[in-house]
Amino acid sequence: MKKVIFVPFFCLLFGTLALFSCDNTSRKLPILGEREFVNGDSVYHTIPDFTFTNQNGVEVSNKTFEGKIYVSDFFFTTCPTICPVMKKQMLRVYEKYKENPQVGILSHTIDPRHDSVQVLKEYAARLGVKKPMWQFVTGEKDKIYEIGEKSYYVTAGEDSTAAGGIIHSGAFILVDKKRRVRGLYDGTKEEDVTKLIKDMEVLLNEK
């Protein structure tokens, strides 16, 4: 009979600060999320299969990011609060890695009713995004909210009390080539995004 043990998410986060203090050449990033021990082997939480549509009307799925690390976030184009700051910071990631085929960015709109393919295309153009490594995607609202909250560990949903009628996290989520969450960062803070970029270098060099 196989033995399964669950490790709570907050327990896996413990010790992350100590890891951040280590040198990039020697440190390892934590693997976040619930973990199962099955017959002595660790089975980690992974991002499930997904299918969305990008700013060019092209299907984007987990296969789009196969063999890549990527940074994910959640936003909406009419967001009056944190989204402009988040996109300014994400542009730092884009500019650094736009020519690197091992890196991607995946931004999910949480207002698919308004953010059509054309709206997302115009939004990407205003940001100056021309490389296909940054995907702005839309899809079924419930599926976007579900993958945000259950897989990426962020808040995403409607809230009549929030500015714009939608509440969402400002987090940037770092995902490795095995679809495991390796870091969560405040996308509104320059110092957190600087840490993200350093951690991306660590992940790219991970064997």
Provide the number of structural domains found in the chain: 1
In a domain, 19, yes or no: no
Mean pLDDT calculated for residue range 125-154:
95
Structure tokens at 157: 């949903």
Q: How far apart are alpha carbons 37 and 5 in whole angstroms?
A: 5
The predicted structure's pLDDT at residue 42: 78
Q: Are 92 and 187 in contact (CB under 8 A)?
A: no
Look-up: residue for tokens 């909210």?
Answer: 145
Q: Which percentage of the chain shows pLDDT scores above 70?
A: 81
Within a domain: 98: yes
Task: Find the largest Cα–Cα distance for the chain.
Answer: 57
Residue 198 structural domain: 46-204
**The pTM is what?**
0.84
Beta strand 51-54 with 134-138 is antiparallel
**28 is a domain residue:** no
pLDDT digits 0-9 by tens, 187-201:
999 999 999 999 999
Per the domain annotation, does 23 fall within a domain? Answer: no
- The enclosing domain of 84 has a CATH number of 3.40.30.10
